Structure 1
Amino acid sequence: MEEKVTCDRCTDKLCASKVPIFSNLSREELVEIIAMTGHRSYHKGESVFLEGTNAATLYLINVGKIKLYKYTKEGKEQILHILADGDFFGELNLLKEGTYGFYAEAMAETRVCTLTKDKLRNLILKRPEIGLKILEVVSERLLKLENLAQNLATNDVETRIAQLILDLSKENGRNIDRGIEIKLSLTREDMSNYIGVARETISRKLKKFQDEGIIEVIGNKKIILLDEERLKGHLSL
């Protein structure tokens, strides 16, 4: 499942300074952390770990994209988070004995650096501010999960899709003359698994928003958000 590789490009710039929890460390401290890390590589679609396996590693994404997900009672995939360069995962059960509560899978060719539970504990004891930064990120992710659960439980399909587009615009959007250009890292299937609707419904609602002049869909990889305020208006429908 896991392929250990040498990582010649896994320098302090790529492995450690990309990660916000290490952002205030000196170069010497970053080099010290790099010496603690292992390196692994995953192909698109390859599993990093399964739900229920022993939690013993913190993963730092060097290059690539990882999705964290669970399965619903109906057996449908529910995406929890999609993480990219500089993000980390696998942190929740590292300070005590436990197992991973979700699946992790590479969505693209991905290289990660790893810290074992014992090394992470020693690092936090030496630099408590790193532990505090980890808690900040965990708090943000828990809030995002709460919002996701509320969105799935209380909002209709159109509202869910509108919220997803707005979230993607904040994460991946850039301002252009016509509006906000969003480069999609999600396939239609991923979008479906994120907000709990059928893939065909995603395509139909995106076309509706396009016909209304709110967005422009360019192939499967790009959306231009033409009228952000009108899209926000769909959140209260």
Structure 2
Amino acid sequence: MNSGQDAGTFADTGWGSPLMPNSSAARWPSRSLLGAMSPEACRELLGLGVRTRFEAGDVLLREGDTDRHVLVLLSGFAKVTARVENGEESLLAVRVGGDIVGEMAAMDGAPRSATVAACGTVDARLLRHDLLRGLLVRRPEVHLVLTGIVADRLRWANRRRLDFRGYPVKVRLARLLVELATSYGRPTERGPEIGCRLTQPELAALTGAAETTIHKGLRELRRSGLLETGYGSTVILDLPRLRRLADLPPDD
């Protein structure tokens, strides 16, 4: 991990205009922290803390640690994992540029509940918990956005638990792919592209299924013309049909 202290204003960070949400060079997902904030709030947030870079495999946050800073991801993606009772590591979620990680410990002071690790290069802003709290006081809109993100993550966790009980594996896989496409997909001529690369074991962990079953499910979805997988990405070729398979309502 490499970090560098800056002068404290966005214009002086050296990142340049591509990090602004209205720039054509960078589009943060609309449901992420940076994607949902106003340009003015983004400027203020990105002027706080220090510029930080992680390389593939670096740990951004470690389960059980008692530090309280947060990281706002600017680019790249990371995986969130936690240890279960038998000692095995379980994949809980993925986070991409625009997302915030570590906000729970920053707010309540409890030990980290999960480990966040970089998958490839990740650029981020590291903020002490007091800087985040000050921003939330000065800008209630940011407080509301962050509260909504925490609520979305809780709903996501609850949906996964219900999906495990109520749907077969193929439907659970379709629901996960729809969630990833709508939250993190990048529009292309062929359909939304999920740029974060998840392995079959990781998809199995997120859907509560066996790896062999996930392999079969992906093969069937490809044969049905619903998606196309390649190195480092997945393109959803027919999102409306995938939503129907996932037993989800049409996307307005």
Give the TM-score category using the shorter length: 0.7 to 0.9
1:13 and 1:227 map into 2 onto residues whose CA distance is 29
Q: Give the structure 2 partner of residue 165 of structure 1.
A: 177
Unpaired runs of 5+ residues, structure 1, are none
1:229 aligns with 2:241: yes
- TM-aligned CA distance change 1:13 to 1:121, over 3 Å: farther
Deviations 1:76-103 (A, max 9, x none): 4332221111111111232332221111
TM-score normalized with structure 2 length: 0.76
Would you say the 8 A contact 1:67–1:81 is kept in 2?
A: yes
Decide whether the 8 Å contact of 2:21 with 2:39 is kept in 1. no
Check if 1:93 corresponds to 2:108. no
The structure-2 alpha-carbon separation of the partners of 1:101 and 1:160, relative to structure 1 and needing over 3 Å to count, comes to same
Please, which moves more after superposition, 37-46 or 164-173? 164-173
SS in 2 for 1:130: helix
Corresponding position: 1:120 with 2:132: yes
What's 2:38 paired with? 23
Q: Distance in 2 between matches of 1:87 and 1:230?
A: 25
Compare 197-206 and 219-228 and name the one that shifted more: 219-228
Q: Deviations over 1:136-188 (max 9, x none)?
A: 111111111111222224332122112122223323164646xx353452232
1:215 paired residue number: 226
Provide the aligned C-alpha RMSD in A.
Answer: 3.0
Q: Bigger radius of gyration, 1 or 2?
A: 1
CA drift of 1:69 comes to: 1.9
Per the TM alignment, residue 227 of structure 1 is displaced from its structure 2 partner at its CA by: 7.2
Determine the C-alpha separation between the residues in 1 that align with 2:177 and 2:169.
13
Tell me, yes or no, if structure 1 residue 10 matches structure 2 residue 25.
no
Say if 2:74 and 2:123, in contact at 8 Å, map to a contact too. Answer: yes
Counterparts in 2 of 1:96-111, with a 5 A limit? 96-111=108-123
Q: Distance in 1 between matches of 2:98 and 2:135?
A: 18
- Number of the residue aligned with 2:31: none
- Once the two structures are TM-superposed, the CA of residue 70 in structure 1 deviates from its matched residue by 1.5
- How far apart are the structure 2 equivalents of 1:36 and 1:224? 37
Residues 119-128 or 40-49, more deviating: 119-128
Query: Residue 48 of structure 1: SS of its match in structure 2?
Result: strand
Matched, 1:46 2:78: no
Contact 1:60 1:86 in 2 (8 A): yes
* Percent identity of equivalent pairs: 19
